[in-house]
Structure formats: structure tokens, C-alpha cells
Amino acid sequence: MAPRPASETSKYARDVGKFPKKVSKAKNKRLQQGLKKVDQEYQEFVKSAEATDVLLQEEAGFLEADGPMERTMKFRQDDIVEAVDVGTANKKLDLQLTELGPYTLDFNRNGRKLLIGGKKGHVASMDWRLGKLGCELFLNETVNAVKYLHNDNFFAVAQKKYTFIYDGSGTELHRLKKHVELTLLDFLPYHFLLVSAGYSGMLRYHDVSTGALVSEIRTKLGPTQAMKQNPWNAVMHLGHGNGTVTMWTPSQKDPVVKIQSNRGPIRDLAVDREGKYMVVSGSDKRVKIWDLRKLQELDTYVIPTPARSVDISDRGLISVGWGPHVSVWKDAFKTHQDEPYMTHLLPSSKIEKIKYVPFEDVLGIGHMKGVGSMIVPGAGEANFDAMEINPYESAKQRQEQEVRTLLNKLSPDTIALDPNFIGMVDKKARNVRLNQTQIQDLEDEEKKEKERSSMNSGPSYKPEQTKLKKYLQKNNANIMDARRMRIERNLKLEEERKEKLKAKELEGEGEPDELLPALGRFA
């Protein structure tokens, strides 16, 4: 079923490097023909997909310096606003909200709407380009995180205790009782899962289309410091206080991957849209770039103060918010960069959250004194796919899209590190690894085992704990007194004795007496 790549350079090629280039001759003629046909169809698809490149209407932005004396990082936003066209210049945003900050922010999936959340209870949803306010809420309660759901008609706000869902006009729709004391929210749009983490170290997946709590996982790593989704495979990346980054799927109780990334708590992390790279910032003032395919560290950048927020744009620009500064790095996944691509300073403020606007060359900045934006040429994807996400959709189209995405809602089980595992042969499965007779043998053995266990099945008792052990457990303080020392010694002796007994037993089992018991005593 799975096709093989035509040319490995094409961006339309699928499953690159997974299949041998030449198909070995299948025994079955019909199967051989079928494989050939699938191959041909695939080649044709790649070719015709490449041919659609000429139809793309827009071009990506760029920023270049004139001559060796100019450096792009020295360009100030004011100069850039003067140089660009009016349409882009209008996208420069600066909201002075000094009262209720610092502000976190979120854009909806097509980048038209902006949701801001002030720590002291100010939440507002707006069309940021037209400057039209959708709703504004003063909650008189701490706001930790805000997140748009599948479109701008719903958003979730993590407040002091509970998490609430509001609609576009600011009406409270739900109070999520299960989601308490959260600091981080994320939404998986294809699975309709609201993901939350916070002080308690619990990771919760909540299906917002049915209202069911899908999964509740204890991370066992203390309060979660940072959380972002991998947009390519919907695996959640969590950063923890001990500098580890863990990756989670709703179906597994343990992390699928655990990385020791930084020395010291993780501040923030970000994953690029194809799930290839991850950027992690830690309190050790280091920003690390990881290759998620090999799970290898690619690069480290040192910055003067710990980065509060990082984000990766659609075209692979890394932006890092530290103190009052924003630095943007270009091509950092390819080679180490000596200096940033762009920088920006917000005097006497502190960055809280930065986030790229989808399909735009704009970076949204939430900081201590309000919300602003920064023009970053070359950041956004120029050509959107209207069948997927359409920034220019009408109300009717939005409604239809909502229905369509709900119909095609993915099950939480489809989340895995490799999103293309569906329809593939599981090479570890028993019926793939073994042949028929081996499977039969195994099954027989299992059957026997089951019978055996059912024969001597009784209530299972916990092995009795010795009094010595109990004492030690109870008084586990690090105080060494005479009694404790004596007990420990006795315990050790007892264990040794037990081990000896066991060894003796095993020996007896292992080597049958060659001379029968009658003659054994003469040996």
C-alpha cells in the first residue's frame, strides 16, 4: 500500500528512505502487477504535484542587507515599517495595556483573530488587523493561559482555579471542573483535544467535541514548566523543572521520549510544523536545537538571560524572547549562525509570550505592558491551502469547514511518534515475526500456562514484611543510632542467609545426582 519515493529531492515525496528502490520480484504475478501499478500511480502523483508549483500565487518575504557594511539585525522596526507596503505596515500593532499585564496571547488557526490574556484578569478577543473587538472580559481573577479552539468562536481560559470555555461573544459556556490550577493550554485541532498542564504535573486531554475527558496522565515530574504540541504528529512536548523534555501521547501512561535537554528548569519550547526540529530554552541561559528525527542535539545558543518564550515560524525562523529583547534566527537548523537575523527591543518591559501569526510575516508579542507585533520578513507561509485553512474564509465557509473537520475528527489512538504508522505492517507483531507453527507452539504454551495458573490460583498475598524492614521504613530519617545500625546488620545477615538457601535449592535442581542417593554418600 505504501508508495515509494520517486525522487528523494521532491518535497512532495512521501515516506522517503523507508522503502527499497527496487522491488524484489513478488512470487504472485497479480501481486507483482499490483505493486507496479501502485508505484506508477505514485510517480505520476509526485510529478503532477510538482507541476502545481507554478500555480502558487504568492511569494515569500525576505530581508537582505545592502553590502557588507549593513547587517539585517541592526534594522529597526521603524525603518522596516517605512520601507514596506502599507498593507504590511498596518499590521504593526502596539497596544499599551499597562494595568493588567503581563499579557499572554494566541492567534486562531487562520491568523485573523487575536486572543490576549492579562495576568490580572483581562481577556479580549479581536480581529487584530481591522482593530475590531470581538469581546472583552474582566475576570477579576488570575489568567494563566488563553487558547483558541478549532475556530475563533470558542476559546479556553485557564483561570486561577478552573479552566473555562467562552464563546466568541464572551459568554461562559463551560467550567472544566477537571482542569484545575493550570498554567498551560494547548489545542490539537485535528483531534479536537484540549490539552492542559499545570502545577499538579498532570497532563489532561479533553475532547471538546464530545465533552469527554480522554486521558489523564501523571507526569511524575513536578509542575510542568512548558508545553507545546508537535503539529506534525500531535505528540505533546512537556518541559520540566529538572531540565528534561518529555513527549506524550494520550494512549500511553509513560512518555514516549524523554530527553535531558538543559541544566535547570525548562522555560519554553517550540516545535516546527513538520515535526523535524525542536527548540528548547532553559533557565541555564541556553537555547538548544534538537533534531526530532534522530533525537539528537543539533546546536546550542547562549543568551544573556534565560529566554521566556520561543517560537518557530512556518518557514523555520526561530524567535527567542528574553528580557525586553526578541531575537530572530534564520537558517539555524542548517548551520550555526553567528548573529541573529533580526532583533527587537521593548524598552522597560519584559517579554511574556511570542507567537508567529499563521500565514503572515508578523510576530505577535505579549509583554508586561501590553501586546505588540513585530514585522519579520520571510517568516510566514505565503501560499495557504484554502481547503485546509483559509484566512479569507466567509462565515458560510467557516461553518462548512467546522462540520467537515468534525466529520473527519481523528481518534486519539492515531497519535504516535510516527503519524504514518496507520496501514503499515507492524514488524514486531507475532503473526508477522513468526511462522504458523511457531505461533501455534506459543499459543499452546500460553494455554498451558493459563491452565497451570488457574489450577493453583488462590487469593494472592503480599509477601510478609519482616519487622526489621518495617522499622526501617517507618524511621527513614537519616539518623544513624545504635539500634538502627544493629537492625541493618541483622537484616543484611538474614538476606544473605536467604540467598544461600536459594542458591542451595537451585544447585540441587540444576545438577541431578549422578550416583543415586544410595551411593551418593560415598562420593
Partner 1 sequence: MKIKTISRSADTYVPARNTQESAMPRNLDPALHPFERAREYTKAVTATKLERMFARPFVGQLGDGHRDGVYCIAKNYKTTNQIASGSGDGIIKYWNMTSRQESLSFKAHYGMVTGLLITPRRGMLSCGDDKSIKLWSLECEDFGEEVDDLDVYRSNKSSQGLLKVFDGEHGFLGLDHHFTDDVFVTGGAAIQLWDMNRSNYVSNLSWGADNVSNVRFNKTETNILASCGSDNSIVLYDIRTNTPVQKVVTALRANDISWNPMEAFNFATGHDDHNAYLWDMRDLSKSLNIYKDHVSAVTSLDFSPTGQELVTGSYDKTIRIYRTREGHSRDIYHTKRMQRVFAVCFTTDSRYILSGSDDANVRLWRANASEKSNVKSAREQAKLNYDNKLKERYKYMPEVRRIARHRHLPIVVKKALQIKRVELESLKKREENNRRNTREGSVPRVPEKEKHIRGTAIKE
Measured at the CA of 142, the angle between CA 171 and CA 243, to 5 degrees, comes to 120
Neighbours of 254 (CB within 10 A): 11
Distances (CA, A) of 400 to 332, 388, 395, 396, 422: 39, 12, 9, 6, 27
Using CB under 8 A, which residues numbered 439 to 498 contact partner 1? none
How many chain residues are in contact with partner 1, going by CB under 8 A? 66
Cβ proximity to partner 1, 300 vs 383, nearer residue: 383
| Options 6, 193, 359, 373; binder of partner 1; rule CB under 8 A | 359
| Min CB(446)–partner 1 separation in Å | 21
- Provide the minimum distance between the beta carbon of 8 and partner 1 in the complex, in angstroms, as a whole number: 14
Closer by beta carbon to partner 1, 136 or else 388: 388
Interface with partner 1 (CB under 8 A), residue from 7, 40, 70, 508: 70
For partner 1, the binding residue among 411, 431, 438, 475 (CB under 8 A) is 411
Amino acid at 85: D
- Name the CA radius of gyration of the chain, rounded: 30
Q: For every residue of 335-382, which 3-state class applies, written as one string? A: CCCCCCCEEEECCCCCEEEEEECCCCCEEEEEECCEEEEEECCCCCCC
| Site stretch for partner 1 (CB under 8 A), options 58-66, 157-165, 252-260, 514-522 | 58-66
Under rule CB under 8 A, which residues in 249-268 are in contact with partner 1? none
Cell of 210: 464530545
Helix axes 467-474, 482-510, angle to 10 degrees: 140
On whether the CB atoms of residues 218 and 254 are closer than 8 A, the answer is no
Of positions 40, 44, 62, 445, contacts partner 1 by CB under 8 A: 62
Q: In what order do the strands lie in the sheet with 325-329?
A: 307-312, 318-322, 325-329, 342-345
Task: Identify residues 72-101 at the interface with partner 1 (CB under 8 A).
Answer: 75, 79-80, 83-85, 87-88
Does residue 58 belong to the site contacting partner 1 (CB under 8 A)? yes
Note whether 361 binds partner 1 by CB under 8 A: yes
**Distance between CA atoms of residues 325 and 384, nearest Å:** 30
CB-facing half-sphere around the CA of 208: CA atoms within 13 A: 32
Q: Which stretch binds partner 1 (CB under 8 A): 208-216, 286-294, 421-429, 476-484?
A: 421-429
Residues 363 to 402 in contact with partner 1, rule: CB under 8 A: 375, 377, 380-392, 394, 397
Sign of the torsion formed by the C-alpha atoms of 45, 50, 52 and 58: positive
Q: Is 408 in the site for partner 1 (CB under 8 A)?
A: yes
- Give the number of residues written for the chain: 523
Residues 6+ apart with CB under 8 A from 110: 358, 359, 384, 389, 390, 391, 393
Q: Is 410 in the site for partner 1 (CB under 8 A)?
A: yes
Nearer to partner 1, 279 or 389 (CB): 389
Cβ distance to partner 1 smaller for residue 97 or 363: 363
Question: Are 214 and 205 spatial neighbours (Cβ–Cβ below 8 Å)?
Answer: yes
Specify the stretch interacting with partner 1 by CB under 8 A; choose among 20-28, 143-151, 243-251, 403-411: 403-411
Pairwise CA distance, residues 425 & 421, whole Å: 8
| 10-49 residues near partner 1, rule: CB under 8 A | 11-12, 14, 49
Out of 120, 398, 409, 484, which residue is the one contacting partner 1 (CB under 8 A)? 409
* Binding-site member from 63, 235, 247, 280 for partner 1 (CB under 8 A): 63
Q: Does 338 bind partner 1 (CB under 8 A)?
A: no
The interface region with partner 1, picked from 55-63, 278-286, 291-299, 451-459 by CB under 8 A, is 55-63
* Choice from 65, 295, 493, 501 touching partner 1 (CB under 8 A): 65
**Quick one: DSSP state of residue 303?**
-
Contact positions vs partner 1 (CB under 8 A): 1, 11-12, 14, 49, 52, 55-66, 70, 75, 79-80, 83-85, 87-88, 190, 231-234, 273-274, 314, 359-361, 375, 377, 380-392, 394, 397, 407-411, 414, 419-423
